[in-house]
Chains A and B, each alone.
Chain A
Amino acid sequence: MLDAILSGLRLVATLDLRLWEIVGLSLAVSLSAVALATLVGLPLGAAIAVGRFPGRQAVIVVLNALMGLPPVVVGLFIYLLLSRAGPLGELGLLFTPQAMVIAQTVLVLPIIAALARQSVEDAWREYEEQLRSLGVEGVRGALTVLWDIRFSLLTAVLAGLGRASAEVGAVMIVGGNIDGVTRVMTTTIALETSKGDLPLALGLGMVLIAIVLALNAAAHLVKDAAQRRYG
């Protein structure tokens, strides 16, 4: 056990090429997915928070429920869409990093949208009268609030990133865990553990945790600084 941990550390410390390729692909896939989901999720959440339309409560319940989507189910769903016989089969995306980005975007979007919806709705309660008094309505109101609480929304984005970087099921199914092409940290850890190659699995595990910690620490510092700067 100790041997395995030491070997894992050695892999990390010696900048083992194979290990860093996997880390790089993981980051590229998860960050792309989170960026896409943020781009869509924040305005979507804000629109639901500020808008008044029939069925709004039902939409909120469904959105909140989708936060708990099982990654394997999302993987299966995207797999069916992208498989050769599926509706999007002609694109030839199955078993590519793009397919993994799509799957993780679907997984992360409800998390970011639902958390943004809650934050914007709370803020809207405070801002609404003042903004309406100034003559601000609709889209402009939503965008104003979204911008004003942008630092609090980091939490929603981080929750999405946490989900994306930690999940195995979706990327395994649509990516196929192909060595050098679609192998990412979580799928490698699952595979190497089952093969008994603990050093690589442990090394990747350590890197994964370190990255998640570093991102959260950075976000915390940004929020803290913003809080002191803008109140």
Chain B
Amino acid sequence: MSAILPLRLEDVSYEAGGRAIIERVSLALEAGPSTIILGANGAGKSVLMRLMHGLLAPTSGRVAWSGEGARRRQAMVFQRPVMLRRSALANVTYALDVAGVVGAERERLARDALAEVGLGRLAQRPARVLSGGEQQRLALARAWALHPEVLFLDEPTANLDPGATREIETIIKAFDAAGTKIVMSTHSLGQARRLGDEVIFLHQGRVAERAPIDKFFPLPASPEAAAFVKGELPWA
């Protein structure tokens, strides 16, 4: 199986209601380093990731994966996880079923994934009655079971308390250690530093700066990113 990375965006723009959300973004994502997408509210972080993941089609430009079957070899975890009204385990096996995994293998992979995120004992619990943090871990288990080459995370801890956030970050590190490319948007500069290897800084739909994490902090090169970092640091 050839790799689906690098992912190339060529001159990608996205408009909604006559307004440009993403403007002429060109970049390549390579396997390896965890990429953090930073930017203020409305900078286009979520839209950019949805364009990469294929949930949105660009108004102009091209989103190109390198290998065949890229669709099935990537997963996304959203800010607010959507769970089906069935058990935690069944939510994971559903995803595996869609992915074409058959029979007993499905349950084995699903149980492994639940154990990985620490939900092994809650396998039979209805997914929708789990806490917010548990549901987000379940969303990660659903992704884990699929062994994606790339995992997109759209502000996965935005609604969670510090304890749950720490649990989620630990799991994201496990994905990274297992060789999955992490592409994550966040508001939290602290989280960016804990999880990221490089930063793509978005400002008004454009890439204002892209730099390795140790170059970006403490001194971003672009004035927009510098202002963002300065403004945000006290609360990070």
Taking the complex as formed, is A230 at the interface, i.e. its CB lies under 8 A from any CB of chain B? yes
30 examples of A-B residue contacts, CB within 8 angstroms: A127-B82, A129-B50, A129-B55, A129-B78, A129-B82, A130-B78, A131-B82, A133-B53, A133-B75, A133-B76, A133-B78, A134-B94, A134-B98, A134-B99, A134-B142, A135-B98, A135-B99, A136-B98, A140-B98, A144-B94, A148-B84, A148-B85, A148-B86, A149-B85, A229-B126, A230-B86, A230-B128, A230-B129, A231-B85, A231-B128
Output the least CB separation between B154 and chain A (Å): 10
**In the assembled complex, which residues on chain B have CB atoms less than 8 Å from the CB atom of A10?**
none
Output the least CB separation between B82 and chain A (Å): 4
What is the CA–CA distance of A126 and B82 in the complex, to the nearest angstrom?
7
Selected contact of B95 from candidates A126, A134, A148, CB within 8 Å = A134
Q: In this complex, what residue of B is CB-closest to A140? A: B98
**In the assembled complex, which residues on chain B have CB atoms less than 8 Å from the CB atom of A132?**
55
Q: Told that A129-B55, A134-B94, A231-B129 touch, could you supply 5 new A-B pairs with CB distance under 8 A?
A: A130-B81, A135-B98, A135-B99, A140-B98, A229-B126
Output the least CB separation between B15 and chain A (Å): 19
What is the CA–CA distance of A130 and B143 in the complex, to the nearest angstrom?
11
**In the assembled complex, which residues on chain A have CB atoms less than 8 Å from the CB atom of B55?**
129, 132-133
Q: In this complex, what residue of B is CB-closest to A130? A: B82
Count, chain B residues at interface, CB 8 A: 22
What is the CA–CA distance of A149 and B99 in the complex, to the nearest angstrom?
23
Contact present for A231 and B78 (CB under 8 Å):
no
Taking the complex as formed, is B108 at the interface, i.e. its CB lies under 8 A from any CB of chain A? no
| Residues in chain A within 8 A of chain B (CB atoms) | 126-127, 129-136, 140, 144, 148-149, 229-231
Contact present for A230 and B126 (CB under 8 Å):
yes
Contact present for B72 and A135 (CB under 8 Å):
yes
What is the CA–CA distance of A132 and B76 in the complex, to the nearest angstrom?
10
**In the assembled complex, which residues on chain A have CB atoms less than 8 Å from the CB atom of B75?**
133-134
A133-B55, A135-B71, A148-B85 as given contacts; A231 in contact with B98, CB under 8 Å? no
Contact present for A144 and B99 (CB under 8 Å):
no
What is the CA–CA distance of A140 and B72 in the complex, to the nearest angstrom?
16
What is the CA–CA distance of A132 and B86 in the complex, to the nearest angstrom?
19
**In the assembled complex, which residues on chain A have CB atoms less than 8 Å from the CB atom of B94?**
134, 144
Contact present for B76 and A230 (CB under 8 Å):
no
**In the assembled complex, which residues on chain B have CB atoms less than 8 Å from the CB atom of A134?**
75, 94-95, 98-99, 142
Within 8 A of A (CB), among B89-113: 94-95, 98-99
Closest 4 interchain pairs by CB? A231-B128, A130-B82, A230-B85, A231-B129
What is the CA–CA distance of A82 and B71 in the complex, to the nearest angstrom?
53
Highest count of chain B CB atoms <10 Å: which of A127, A140, A231: A231
What is the CA–CA distance of A144 and B99 in the complex, to the nearest angstrom?
15
What is the CA–CA distance of A131 and B71 in the complex, to the nearest angstrom?
13
Output the least CB separation between B161 and chain A (Å): 20
**In the assembled complex, which residues on chain B have CB atoms less than 8 Å from the CB atom of A129?**
50, 55, 78, 82
Output the least CB separation between B77 and chain A (Å): 9
What is the CA–CA distance of A126 and B78 in the complex, to the nearest angstrom?
12
Q: In this complex, what residue of A is CB-closest to B135? A: A231
Q: In this complex, what residue of B is CB-closest to A229? A: B126
Q: In this complex, what residue of A is CB-closest to B126? A: A230
What is the CA–CA distance of A88 and B85 in the complex, to the nearest angstrom?
44
A130-B78, A133-B75, A133-B76 as given contacts; A144 in contact with B95, CB under 8 Å? no
Highest count of chain A CB atoms <10 Å: which of B72, B85, B99, B129: B85
**In the assembled complex, which residues on chain B have CB atoms less than 8 Å from the CB atom of A127?**
82
Q: In this complex, what residue of A is CB-closest to B85? A: A230
What is the CA–CA distance of A135 and B99 in the complex, to the nearest angstrom?
7
Per-residue 0/1 for B117-138: is the Cβ within 8 Å of any A Cβ (1 yes, 0 no)?
0000000001111000000000
Q: In this complex, what residue of A is CB-closest to B87? A: A230
Output the least CB separation between B183 and chain A (Å): 13
What is the CA–CA distance of A132 and B53 in the complex, to the nearest angstrom?
10
Within 8 A of A (CB), among B183-224: none
